[in-house]
Amino acid sequence: MARQLNGGVPDWVSRQSTIAAQPPWPAWGALLNYGAPLASLPGRITITGSVDPALLAGPLIVVANHIGDYEPIVLAPSLYKVGIRPRFLATKGLMTAKVLGPLLERAGFIRVDRGSDDARHTMTVTDSALRNNGHIVVYPEGRIGLDRDLWPERGRSGVARMALRSRVPVIPVSSWGAHEVLCYADDRRKLNTFARAMWQQPLMQVHVGTPVPLDDLVATRMGDANRARERIIAAITMQLQELRRGEPGRPRYLDPTRPCSQQSTAAFPGGHVPDDLRALITAARDTP
């Protein structure tokens, strides 16, 4: 259990806020740079898209679909390659691990205690990072996706509220293929799927898009957080359509250990984004 400071604030909040206000840890950058080839051992990684250099100089909120346990290992060096200095939001279980936890914290990862009163403290740390031009990486779905066809789920409104409150650009990132490397189930089966991937070398794709159009939305206006959430998931879904053109329906690779519902849980089943929403996002993307 985390120690409490005066006012009932856990000690990790102050510690991580201080780290968030500092420049990125050089060792983390070196790992992302020189360790990138290791991420591609179980498959081929392709990175498309880019971020305006002017945006890279300031704070960013990066949002991505979450398709499996190996996908963050592909995502981190891919983001770094296009100039994003990733500070991931990570679950309490990872952040409190004896060896891994302190390393992740020093790298700028931010703890999220979902479903507890401490979840609000995450905002204190993210605010510190954004005020100091940090690049926050968030999974809007809040978990590894369990849609039967692996389309992004509706997700939570936390990232939308963060974006509207901070007015920081939101960069959508879509990934595909990394779900073939590690299955959803226990460690022994994960080793089996990793070995299979080493042999088959699946294609792991990452696409970095342009900012989601949110300028017309207001944090204090009723319903705007849900509208922002919808646009964020729609942007990720639209990019994902391009990555999985040959797999618009049921994915080619099916993980029998993933506890998917027989009914679709996707925000946009089949990747079908409504025309009006698609037009809004496309217009913003095509505007110079």
Q: Quick one: pLDDT at residue 6? A: 52
Structural domain includes residue 119:
no
Pairing of strands 86-91, 44-49: unpaired
Q: What's the rounded Cα separation, in Å, for the pair 155 and 172? A: 14
Domains in the chain, number: 1
Mean pLDDT score across all residues of the chain: 93
**Rounded Cα gap, residues 207 and 178, in angstroms:** 13
Residue 116: predicted pLDDT: 64
The answer to whether residue 3 is domain-embedded is: no
Output the six-digit token pair for 240: 């994902």
Domain assignment present for 94: no
Residue 286 neighbours by CB distance under 10 Å: 8
* Beta bridge pairs of residue 204: 45
Name the burial class of residue 20, with classes exposed (0-12), middle (13-18) and buried (19+) by CB atoms within 10 angstroms of its CB: buried
Assigned domain for 120 exists: no
Identity of the residue numbered 103: L
Beta strands 60-64; 170-176: pairing state: parallel
Residue 105, in any domain of the structure: no
Amino acid at site 208 = V
Distance CA 143, CA 265 (A): 13
**30 CB-near residues (< 8 Å, 6+ apart):** none
Predicted local distance difference test score (pLDDT) of residue 84: 98
pTM for the predicted model, two decimal places: 0.94
Scan for tokens 């920081």, then name that residue.
168
Contact present, 159 and 112 (Cβ < 8 Å)? no
Q: Distance between CA 51 and CA 232 in Å, rounded?
A: 17
Please indicate, yes or no, if residue 125 is contained in any of the structural domains. no
| Domain of residue 71, residue span | 35-85+134-246+255-286
Question: End-to-end CA distance of the chain, in Å?
Answer: 50
8-state DSSP, 181 = T
107 in a domain, yes or no?
no
Q: Which residue has the tokens 């398709």?
A: 67
All residue ranges of the chain with pLDDT < 50 are 1
* Residue 30 maps to a domain: no
Question: In angstroms, rounded to a whole number, what is the distance separating the alpha carbons of residues 230 and 275?
Answer: 13
Q: In 3-state terms, what secondary structure has residue 68?
A: coil
